Amino acid sequence: MSPFRASAPFTKRWKHFRFSVEDGVATLTFNRPEVLNALTFEAYADLRDLLAELPHRDDVKVVVITGTGRGFCSGGDVHEIIGALQKMDAKDLLEFTRMTGAVVQRMRDCPLPIIAAINGVAAGAGSVIALAADFRLLARSASFSFLFTKVGLAGADMGAAYLLPRLIGFGRASELLILGDKVGPERAVEIGLASSVAEDEELGVVAQELARKLADGPALAYATTKMLLWRELDMDLSGALELEAMAQALLMTSEDHREFYAAFTEGRKPDWQGR
């Protein structure tokens, strides 16, 4: 989306998950089904770096994150991460926790819509990655578990204590983050943690249908809406109104807005360009 590129090329191959782009839709697939797609240090780093690249690519309009097998992502690998953390000093531990937080920060700062197609267990860090997406679609067998307290850590991790109360309310967020209990798909939809539930075999189709709708739509309007939603979370009303006024006035000069009017007067569908 950004026309400004430095000399470093885009990464051609990501080692710690599958990544593909087709007709404007980027799909990131966690691919360690034998451990419910648990994350390693390297997977976190790849996620952080991919999310930094995505806003600069002109071939991506929407991102889908999903997993293989029975898990979306079960969080940090117990052996490869939690075991290793026991041997680290404070400096390295802080570098690690800042890296995991950077994944969520970059998901929220990315102007592209992000869909989490949650095909199975989303636990720990996996639940927060899903939380940081713009859309959460659940398979019938999917579940959330913000289980940080169950391993003796704070439920406030990777921005969960910031994002979750704003999504489902303070009381429900307190319950989920303090107790760390499993949340099934119907309950997740009921409390606003997810938008819809699909049968397991239909989740991929449902996610791609939503991705296609977003990729074919007015990308600049979508990006601006996402950024305003995110930036206005901690603003007062007067500041939000002024920010929205400036953003809306700017979009009124866009090619897409002019294309809408032309299409409307000519009785046809708009040909969105994202500009």
Rounded distance between C-alpha atoms, residue 82 and residue 75, angstroms? 10
* Per-residue pLDDT at 2 exceeds 80: no
- Mean pLDDT to the nearest integer, 84-99: 95
pLDDT of residue 4: 78
* Per-residue pLDDT at 27 exceeds 70: yes
pLDDT per residue over 179-225, tens digit each?
999 999 999 999 999 999 999 999 999 999 999 999 999 999 999 99
Could you tell me what percent of the chain has a pLDDT over 90?
Answer: 93
Domains, the chain, with CATH or none: 18-215 (3.90.226.10), 219-266 (1.10.12)
pLDDT of residue 118: 98
In sequence order, what are the beta bridge partners of 66?
Answer: 29
pLDDT of residue 270: 96
pTM of the model: 0.95
DSSP, collapsed to helix, strand or coil, labels residue 72 as: strand
- pLDDT band for 1, please (50, 70, 90 cuts): low
* Per-residue pLDDT at 3 exceeds 80: no
Instruction: Tell me the three-class secondary structure of 158-219, residue by residue.
Output: CCHHHHHHHHHCHHHHHHHHHHCCEECHHHHHHCCCCCEEECHHHHHHHHHHHHHHHHCCCH
The answer to whether the CB of 67 falls within 8 A of the CB of 73 is yes
CA angle 123, 124, 129 (to 5 degrees): 85
Phi-psi region of 260 (alpha: psi -120 to 50; beta: other; left: phi over 0): alpha
pLDDT per residue over 118-173, tens digit each?
999 999 999 999 999 999 999 999 999 999 999 999 999 999 999 999 999 999 99
